[in-house]
Structure 1
Amino acid sequence: MPDDETPKQRLERIKLIERLILIPLLLLAVGGFFTFGRAIVVGQSMLPTLKPGQRLTILKAWKLFSPLKAGDIVVVGVKAGQKNRDEEIVKRVIFIQNDAGTRPWPEIVKTPTGTYPTAALFSRERFSGNARSGIYILGDNINNSTDSRDFGAVFESEIIGKVWR
């Protein structure tokens, strides 16, 4: 601080320093609010990876920062059957089909509970090149999971966020 600084100049300098510190902090806080979210695991479909009641931090702005790939764990918003209410489910991405539906399926699907032939998990029309475009999801505990085997692919717009570890 210069000795010849007037009180008014000192006040202006302090205001500038506050703005340089507080505005970026405020932007980070607001950005974090819209970028991150929380979810809770319900059910046993993701055992042993995720346990029921486990709290998750999700990256809601995943399109900007981290494109989806097979193996990612996502939170998906889906209509819960005839109850006509929204539910969120946590599942693992196993395959992303292109818009034409022509991307070849992997021959096997690896999960923490084992390796499975794709043909044993999905009906023949789903993996023979006639699959609708979209993202196919599967629970890690495949014997106790409602997933793409039941309702098909989900759309990118249905994905609420990627689980962030």
Structure 2
Amino acid sequence: MTKKKNQWIEWLKAILIAFGLVFFIRMFLFSPIVVDGPSMLPTLHDRDQMIVNKFIYKIKEPERFDIVVFHAPNQKDFIKRVIGLPGEHVKVKDEVLYINGKPVEEPFLEDLKRAKKEYQSITNDFTLEELPGGYEEIPEDHILVLGDNRGNSTDSRMIGVIPLDEVVGKASVIYWPPERMQIVRE
């Protein structure tokens, strides 16, 4: 009887350790997210399942064109692309992104640009000053984010710049569905 009881205790310990590890990894290191909606098309599709790296921004700052998950004001988490960094001025004019007055290529929009019709625009013109907050430059510890599908995205144009402490992490791996499994690059 004692031997059987010891086996149960050993199994219980192993299960508790496994649950503890899963909890730790999910809380502090990696977490799954499901893309909800078309705002990141064509890069991410509705219902894509991704892994969010939650610790990367503890050791470095977000970079331009990273795909990030963040807590949106009074809503669920959003997934968007970093466009502007602290201290920068952002504007879009005639489908061209300008950072501090210099044009910046957005290679992830090339498929959309090829597919659009002559009368369609990918990104309506805007300047940072016209966005909520009316900033002349992105404040320290904030980023400006946009969806890749600019015509159908709730992003910094509506909700303003995002505080870095609201960023959950970087999403760069699609693991489901299997035919879309990939590391997402700019």
Indicate if the aligned counterparts of 1:73 and 1:93 stay in contact, CA closer than 8 A: yes
Query: 1: CA distance between counterparts of 2:83 and 2:128?
Result: 16
TM-score, length-scaled by structure 2: 0.59
Shift of 1:78: 0.9
Does residue 53 of structure 2 align to residue 45 of structure 1? no
Deviation at 1:28, TM superposition (A): 6.8
Which residue does 2:178 correspond to in 1? none
Residue 160, structure 1, aligned to residue 168, structure 2: yes
| 2:17 is the counterpart of 1:32 | no
Amino acid of the structure 2 residue aligned with 1:112? F
Distance 1:87 1:26 in 2: 26
Distance 1:105 1:159 in 2: 27
Partner Cα separation in structure 2 for residue 144 and residue 51 of structure 1: 13
- Consecutive unaligned residues of structure 2, counting only runs of 5 or more, are 1-17, 90-98, 114-120, 174-186
% same residue: 29
Equivalences, count: 134
The 10-residue stretch of structure 1 (36-45 or 129-138) with the greater mean CA deviation from structure 2: 129-138
The aligned amino acid for 1:143 is G
Alignment correspondent of 2:70: 76
Partner of 1:56 in structure 2? 50
User: Residue 16 of structure 1 corresponds to which residue in structure 2?
Assistant: none
Alignment match, 1:113: 109
Counterpart of 1:151 (choices 150, 155, 159) is 159
Runs (5+) with no aligned partner, structure 1: 1-24, 81-85
Letter of the 2:45 counterpart = K
Q: Secondary structure at the match of 1:160?
A: strand
Show the counterpart of 1:13: none
Contact kept, 8 Å, 1:74 with 1:161, in 2: the verdict is yes
Offset at residue 122 of structure 1 (A): 2.4
AA at the equivalent of 2:168: I
Kindly tell me: are residues 62 and 124 of structure 1, through their superposed partners in 2, closer, same or farther at Cα, counting changes over 3 Å? closer
Aligned partners of 1:107 and 1:117 also within 8 Å: no
Report the TM-score when normalising by structure 1.
0.65
Residues 39 and 105 (structure 1), Cα distance of their counterparts in 2 relative to 1, 3 Å cut: farther
| RMSD value, Cα | 3.5
Superposed displacement of residue 38, structure 1: 1.0
Work out whether residues 122 and 150 of structure 2, in 8 Å CA contact, stay in contact via their aligned partners in 1.
no
Within the candidate set 126, 135, 149, 1:141 is matched to 149
Q: Is 1:89 aligned to residue 78 of structure 2?
A: yes
Partner of 2:76: helix, strand, or coil?
strand
Runs of 4 or more consecutive aligned structure 1 residues displaced over 6 Å after TM superposition: 25-28, 115-118
Letter in 2 for 1:104: N
Letter in 2 for 1:47: L
Q: Alignment partner for residue 127 of structure 2, among 97, 103, 123?
A: 123
Q: Distance in 2 between matches of 1:129 and 1:78?
A: 19
CA–CA distance in structure 2, aligned partners of residues 29 and 123 of structure 1: 44
- Deviation at 1:159? 0.5
